[in-house]
């Protein structure tokens, strides 16, 4: 199951220990080398430190109620979090980043993305297509397996191989079952009696 990031940002962070709302899930902190969410910023008036972060490994479950953690001890300040600070220093944000194919054709910009809630891996990118491609489709979906290169300004993806696409189309057409439209089938002749 893939969950969009837009459905996670803004949900409450709840303590399993007390049952209270600790804060709200904010922007994700993404490691671009692995294309994985390592933590979320957490916002709220009841937090000891601002900014505060919540590591993905400390979230027990993300569901209809919100993000459930053991206790408020799972929400930490940035002091002393050296490895996380290195990822934050990348300054990597997915929304708005341009996506091109390996032939340098512009495909669009990332509008939303889907993650696997079990491991926080970013599985799919949902693009707002370029103006010329908007006539063909409202959104484009790119799977993580298509990604070749990532930096802070662009994502490069594999373009479809024309030979593979033609081979698939040929195989589909060869194996297609002929369809007869019952409304176009010849009708039996009826004789008029006088």
CA 164, 166, 169, 173: dihedral to nearest 10 degrees?
-130
In SS3 terms, 53-73 reads as EEEHHHEEEECCCCEEECCHH
pLDDT over 90 at 134, yes or no: no
Residues in the chain: 194
pLDDT at 178: 60
Rounded distance between C-alpha atoms, residue 32 and residue 156, angstroms: 13
> Which residue spans within 12-170 are E strands per DSSP?
12-15, 21-31, 36-43, 52-55, 59-62, 67-69, 75-77, 98-101, 106-116, 121-129, 140-143, 147-150, 154-157
pLDDT at 49 over 90: no
Give the pLDDT confidence score for residue 41 in this predicted structure.
Answer: 95
Cα Rg of the chain (Å, integer) = 25
Sketch out the chain's domains with CATH numbers: 3-90 (3.90.50.10), 98-159 (2.30.30.240)
At 93, is the pLDDT very low, low, confident or very high (cuts 50, 70, 90)? very high
């Amino acid at each position: 199951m893939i969950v969009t990031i837009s459905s996670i940002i803004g949900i409450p962070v709840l303590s399993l220990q007390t049952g209270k709302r600790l804060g709200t899930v904010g922007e994700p902190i993404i490691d671009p080398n692995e294309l994985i969410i390592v933590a979320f910023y957490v916002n709220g008036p009841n937090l000891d430190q601002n900014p505060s972060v919540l590591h993905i490994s400390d979230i027990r479950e993300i569901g209809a109620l919100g993000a459930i953690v053991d206790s408020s001890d799972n929400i930490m300040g940035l002091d002393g979090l050296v490895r996380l600070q290195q990822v934050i220093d990348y300054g990597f944000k997915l929304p708005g980043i341009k996506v091109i194919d390996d032939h340098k054709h512009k495909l669009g910009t990332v509008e939303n993305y889907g993650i696997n809630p079990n491991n926080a891996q970013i599985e799919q990118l949902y693009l707002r297509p370029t103006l010329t491609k908007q006539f063909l489709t409202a959104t484009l979906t790119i799977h993580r397996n298509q990604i070749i290169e990532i930096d802070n300004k662009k994502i490069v993806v594999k373009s479809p191989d024309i030979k593979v696409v033609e081979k698939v189309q040929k195989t589909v057409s060869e194996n297609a079952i002929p369809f007869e439209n019952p409304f176009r089938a010849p009708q039996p002749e009826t004789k008029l009696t006088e």
